[in-house]
Amino acid sequence: MAIEVQDLVRSGVYPNSDAAVHEAVRVLWQERPSVRIEVAAHRYRTEDISLAQAAAVAGVSFDRMKEILAERSVPLRLGPSSLDEARAELDVLQRMRG
């Protein structure tokens, strides 16, 4: 028997369906690294995020993200296209180093 989101709300586990869905996505994000990697690869392919930003989304190193993208035949855009992008990339890398 499947549990519906509304069952969680009606039983008082969550105050509303948005809270239940948010928690489900948070747990999925933490427990399934492959989901983070797929989202990062998709965003790199379809949005204008840098390799460093994709690595941060995926939770992997810069070099590992390059490997992941190459395995998926995603063309790499190496090097920032603007000074602002270079600064943003540096900021992401610094945060990843701790």
Got the DSSP string for 16-55? SHHHHHHHHHHHHHHH-HHHHHHHHHHHHHHS---HHHHH
Q: Does residue 13 fall inside a structural domain? A: no
Q: Does residue 3 fall inside a structural domain? A: no
Q: Does residue 44 fall inside a structural domain? A: yes
DSSP 60: S
Range(s) of the domain holding residue 44: 32-97
- The Cα 31–Cα 59 span in angstroms is 12
Q: Does residue 47 fall inside a structural domain? A: yes
List, for residues 43-79, the tens digit of each pLDDT value. Answer: 999 998 989 899 999 999 999 999 999 999 999 987 6
Number of domains in the chain: 1
Q: Does residue 46 fall inside a structural domain? A: yes
Give the closest residue to 69 by CA, choosing from 43, 32, 88.
43
Q: Does residue 40 fall inside a structural domain? A: yes
User: What was the pLDDT predicted at 3?
Assistant: 86
User: What was the pLDDT predicted at 1?
Assistant: 82
Q: Does residue 67 fall inside a structural domain? A: yes
Least confident of 14-18, 23-27, 85-89: 85-89
- The Cα 16–Cα 23 span in angstroms is 11
Q: Does residue 8 fall inside a structural domain? A: no
